[in-house]
Amino acid sequence: MAQSHQASGIQAGRLPAEDIATNFEDLHAPFDAHEAAVAADRCYFCYDAPCMQACPTSIDIPQFIREIQGGHPTAAAKTILDQNILGGMCARVCPTETLCEEVCVREAAEGKPVEIGRLQRYATDALMEKGAQPFTRTDATGKTVAVVGAGPAGLAAAHRLAMLGHDVVLFEAKPKAGGLNEFGIAAYKSTNDFAAREVDWLLQIGGITVEYGKKLGDALTLDGLSQDYDAVFLSIGLGGVNALRTSGEDVAGVADAVDFIAELRQSADLTSLPVGRNIVVIGGGMTAVDAAVQSKLLGAENVTIAYRRGRDAMGASRYEQDLAASKGVKLMFNVMPKAIHGDSAACEIELEYTEIVDGRVTGTGETLRLSADQVYKAIGQTLEGQPSALDLEGGKIKVDEAGRTSVAGVWAGGDCASGGEDLTVTAVAEGRDAAMDIHASLMG
Amino acid sequence: MADLTTDFLGIKSPNPFWLASAPPTDKEYNVRRAFEAGWGGVVWKTLGAEGPPVVNVNGPRYGAIWGADRRLLGLNNIELITDRPLEVNLEEMTRVKKDYPDRALIASIMVPCEKEAWQKILPRVAETNADGIELNFGCPHGMAERGMGSAVGQVPEYIQMVTEWCKQYYDRPVIVKLTPNITDVRYPARAANAGNADAVSLINTINSITSVNLDAMAPEPTIGGKGTHGGYCGPAVKPIAMNMVAEIARDPETAGLPISAIGGITTWRDAAEFIALGAGNVQVCTAAMTYGFDVVKEMISGLSEWMDDQGYSSIQDFKGMATPNVTDWQYLDLNYVTKARISEADCIKCGRCYAACEDTSHQAIAISEDRVFSVKDDECVACNLCVNVCPVEGCITMEEVPAGQIDQRTGEVVSDEYGSWTTHPNNPMAVAE
């Protein structure tokens, strides 16, 4: 018997299984062939296309859309994957509204861009349905590369290196590869176990050995890797989570949003996943939105995102904000956590209104309280467990444009490295580009 | 409200929109529906001689090409003339004409090129009280191989001969339908005129293969692994039809010969353009076959509204107004100089004008770092390609360089006098003014 929205405390099964299934369906249904043809036909095939410029992986978007128009989605997929081997996932999770689609000339002309993301998915799905990996390895170089972290950056680097003939060992701390694709993105953006299927498909190229349960720090050291391999690529992500530094932070019911999302993504049965009646998510990025929306979809009655600055400063795009609002999440701006109340478990959160004074968030003294049996912290992740030999910049591993760290023979990319936005697509670009530089360095 | 009533060869119809002789007019049921929808007239599907009717293929008979969102742009068919007995068609025509006396009903006819065959069928048609006949000299497939259709239409002497027979044995208007599958449409039109035809109608369909099935390696429509050329029609053929209509309208030998225009008419605007080129009415087929008979309603309301806006009270008011402005290339004014102008406010920065000009034309468009596109007057030859490839209507326009100003491309002052190739110094056959 399903619990209701109103059941107090943290309960599993607030919604019947069929509602949960509906709620966690694809955010955007895939195009059928005719829809894809109509959507593709809207592309103007721009000269020096702005969309391509806006894509962190520089996918030749007009070219792939033209290939869809020509009836060859698999050729389109090849064009995409040439630049972005995780083009399938990026088609699902890229904030296209702030990237390619934002600068689409049809966005300027009529406020309705060509649906590049969905077309990319149409193409990559068509290719992946065929199952085959379209890339092959060149002759073996005899060189070996260690890649640490099997998230988007590590996978992109490993694939490119393998393609170029190097032998790659990919070390992953968790029992599954994929990084945030597998553990950190809303389930409705990666349905039917897509992240894992994409990894399996990617690894078909060969030449990549994955060693699970291997984390930098224990038996795995940078020195050791540097000795054992011809090059090292670090893509260890951001393992730490910022603390609220608020009283009551340690009571039960207060958790990291990333942990909640990971648990949800790995849950075999969402009806068994407990969720509170009243939930407050602290933060303003994509993680906050993913945690809030999924809480709502699990059946929480009241879900609030509390963000300490104004709407415009929010990390989540306007599209994501609207998505949250459409699912019934309440967005509160200019409020910051002051205290979490509750003896052994959270029951209320006290928020203080803020104003921005000289660019700094400042409390006004006025407070309010919201019922909260769960509080999710989503105020940013931090680098954790990085080798001490590496120079840092802005709290991340310092790299140059090619991904080189301060230590010779060691490259880094993805969220753990400096530069670029913390997006899947950016991580792929960094992994790919570092791989090319590693290749040049090894073969030079 | 403008009066759309049309008098074509003395045949009155409430509007100039007739359905062309084709599948939509093959039988009473369809024609009644057409008249109920508002069509001004129909040309009944072509009748053949008495006796066992022709047979059609039993596989697919249409092929097509499409634009965006599968909008049908061109249709081809391998259907023949009516495959129903002559007697049945004549009975139905008689009934329909009786019930719709205010609509035009024309009998399309195709019988062998023998006097007796025409002598035989014409009185039968006359008995139906049809308003006139149309001679099908255009059908490009199936019948041509039997010495009919376009096989007649491609030989001006035959056209004149058969037209004369019809004028001799039939006392109502005779319209000669012309095939476009010839080199110069003026010759068959002149032949029809010489045979005393009351009007010509054009164009019939164009020989075509619309597509090749790359799996079957055969043309579409494919029948048992084979295909054949069909007759092409629909929006794609309109430019070809308009040129042929204009050629006949401005040919001194046929000027004034009434024209019923056919070819891709889909909206009121298409009809208005044909009428402006000299047509007295229009015939429609593909638009009806694509969307059903109700398309005529927009044609009627659209033409009427446009005529009201222009102050035209009848079709006659603008009929042929564009004909005098159709000329030969050699008479075009070479002193008329224009330059492309790109409206930065309207530009959406797609860069198609740049790609088109830079790659395929005259390198006359500049692109700035922030994607502002501008025309280089010293390179622009005013070809207009940028206007045509721009997705934003009105964003790029052609602006006249006034007389007295310097054309930056040639460095010469623009003359205020008319000057064509006929008098140009580079023309070895130039005549002194």
Examine the domain organization and report whether B238 and B297 are in the same domain: yes
Q: Where are the domains of chain A?
A: 33-130, 144-239+383-443, 242-380
CA distance B347 to chain A (A): 8
CATH of A33-130, one of 3.40.50.300, 1.10.10.10, 3.90.230.10, 1.10.1060.10: 1.10.1060.10
Q: Which two tokens stand for residue B400?
A: 């006249």
pLDDT digits over B297-315, tens only? Answer: 999 999 999 999 999 999 9
Q: In chain A, which residues touch B (CB < 8 A)?
A: 34, 37-38, 41, 44-50, 105-106, 108-109
Known catalytic residue at B139: yes
Examine the domain organization and report whether B167 and B232 are in the same domain: yes
**How many domains does chain B divide into?**
2
Chain A neighbors of B359, CB-CB under 8 A: none
Chain B neighbors of A47, CB-CB under 8 A: 350-352, 354-355, 367
Q: Which two tokens stand for residue B171?
A: 């006392």
Confidence of residue B291 (pLDDT cuts 50, 70, 90): very high
Distance CA A427, CA A155 (A): 10
Does the CB of B367 have a partner CB in chain A at under 8 Å? yes
> Which of A38, A41, A47 lies nearest to residue B355, judging by beta carbons?
A47
pLDDT digits over A245-264, tens only? Answer: 999 999 999 999 999 999 99
* Residue B432: per-residue pLDDT: 64
The radius of gyration of chain B's CA atoms, rounded to the nearest angstrom, is 25
What mean pLDDT is predicted for residues B106-133?
A: 96
Chain A neighbors of B346, CB-CB under 8 A: none
pLDDT digits over B187-244, tens only? Answer: 999 999 999 999 999 999 999 999 999 999 999 999 999 999 999 999 999 999 999 9
Chain A neighbors of B391, CB-CB under 8 A: 44, 109
Q: Let me know: does A124 contact A77? Beta carbons within 8 Å.
A: yes
Examine the domain organization and report whether B280 and B333 are in the same domain: no
Letter string b/e over residues B393-429, b meaning 16 or more CB atoms within 10 A of that residue's CB: eebbeeeebeeeeebebeeeebeeeeebbeeeeeeee
Q: Mean pLDDT across chain B, nearest whole number?
A: 96
* Residue A287: per-residue pLDDT: 95
Which of B350, B353, B357, B395 best tests the A interface by mutation, with the highest count of A CBs <10 A?
B350
Examine the domain organization and report whether B170 and B262 are in the same domain: yes
Q: Which two tokens stand for residue A321?
A: 């904000």
Final residue in a domain of this structure, among B325, B343, B371: B325
Q: Which residue in the list B113, B139, B166, B390 is annotated as catalytic?
A: B139
* Residue B433: per-residue pLDDT: 54
Report CA A41 to chain centroid distance, whole Å: 30
CATH of A242-380, one of 3.50.50.60, 3.40.640.10, 3.40.50.970, 3.30.70.100: 3.50.50.60
> Which of A47, A50, A109 lies nearest to residue B354, judging by beta carbons?
A47
Examine the domain organization and report whether B309 and B338 are in the same domain: no
Provide the pairing of β-strand B132-136 with B104-109.
parallel
CATH 3.50.50.60 at A144-239+383-443, yes or no? yes
What mean pLDDT is predicted for residues A362-377?
A: 97
* Residue B69: per-residue pLDDT: 86
- On the question of pLDDT at A227 being above 70, the answer is yes
- On the question of pLDDT at B144 being above 80, the answer is no
Examine the domain organization and report whether B346 and B275 are in the same domain: no
Confidence of residue A1 (pLDDT cuts 50, 70, 90): very low
> Which of B69, B348, B352 lies nearest to residue A108, judging by beta carbons?
B348
Confidence of residue A3 (pLDDT cuts 50, 70, 90): low
Q: Which two tokens stand for residue B177?
A: 């339908």
Q: Residue A41 and residue B351: Cβ atoms within 8 Å?
A: no
- On the question of pLDDT at A389 being above 80, the answer is yes
Q: Residue A47 and residue B367: Cβ atoms within 8 Å?
A: yes
Determine, yes or no, domain membership for B1. no
Determine, yes or no, domain membership for B430. no
Examine the domain organization and report whether B145 and B270 are in the same domain: yes
Determine, yes or no, domain membership for B166. yes
Judge whether A144-239+383-443 and A242-380 match in fold.
Answer: yes
Q: CB pairs under 8 A, 24+ apart, for B168-171?
A: B169/B118, B169/B119, B169/B122, B169/B123, B170/B122, B170/B125, B170/B126, B170/B133, B171/B126
| Chain B residue with Cα closest to A49 | B350
pLDDT digits over A159-182, tens only? Answer: 999 999 999 999 999 999 999 999
Examine the domain organization and report whether B359 and B406 are in the same domain: yes
Examine the domain organization and report whether B315 and B334 are in the same domain: no
Q: Mean pLDDT across chain A, nearest whole number?
A: 95
Q: Let me know: does A106 contact A53? Beta carbons within 8 Å.
A: no
Chain A neighbors of B69, CB-CB under 8 A: 37-38, 41
Examine the domain organization and report whether B253 and B370 are in the same domain: no
Q: What is the CATH number of the domain that holds B402?
A: 3.30.70.20
Q: Residue A44 and residue B350: Cβ atoms within 8 Å?
A: yes
* Residue B138: per-residue pLDDT: 78
Final residue in a domain of this structure, among B325, B354, B375: B325
Provide the pairing of β-strand A374-378 with A278-283.
parallel
A359: left (phi over 0), alpha (psi -120 to 50) or beta: left
Confidence of residue B422 (pLDDT cuts 50, 70, 90): very high
pLDDT digits over B39-49, tens only? Answer: 999 999 999 99
Examine the domain organization and report whether B258 and B343 are in the same domain: no
CB atoms within 10 A of CB B56: 14
pLDDT digits over B331-365, tens only? Answer: 999 999 999 999 999 999 999 999 999 999 999 99
pLDDT digits over A35-49, tens only? Answer: 999 999 999 999 999
Range of the domain at B409: 329-423
Determine, yes or no, domain membership for B387. yes
**What sign has the CA pseudo-torsion A219, A221, A226, A230?**
positive
pLDDT digits over A51-92, tens only? Answer: 999 999 999 999 999 999 999 999 999 999 999 999 999 999
Q: What percent of chain A has pLDDT over 70?
A: 99
Examine the domain organization and report whether B320 and B333 are in the same domain: no
Half-sphere exposure of A369 (CA within 13 A, CB side): 9
A-to-B residue pairs, Cβ atoms closer than 8 angstroms? 36
Q: What is the CATH number of the domain that holds B86?
A: 3.20.20.70
Final residue in a domain of this structure, among B325, B346, B372: B325
Which of A31, A32, A38, A46 best tests the B interface by mutation, with the highest count of B CBs <10 A?
A46
The structure tokens 């097509």 sit at: B64
Determine, yes or no, domain membership for B433. no
CA distance B387 to chain A (A): 15
What mean pLDDT is predicted for residues B370-396?
A: 97
Q: Let me know: does A153 contact A84? Beta carbons within 8 Å.
A: no
Report CA A75 to chain centroid distance, whole Å: 26
Does the CB of B71 have a partner CB in chain A at under 8 Å? no
In the three-class reduction of DSSP (H, G, I as helix; E, B as strand; rest coil), residue B200 is classed as strand
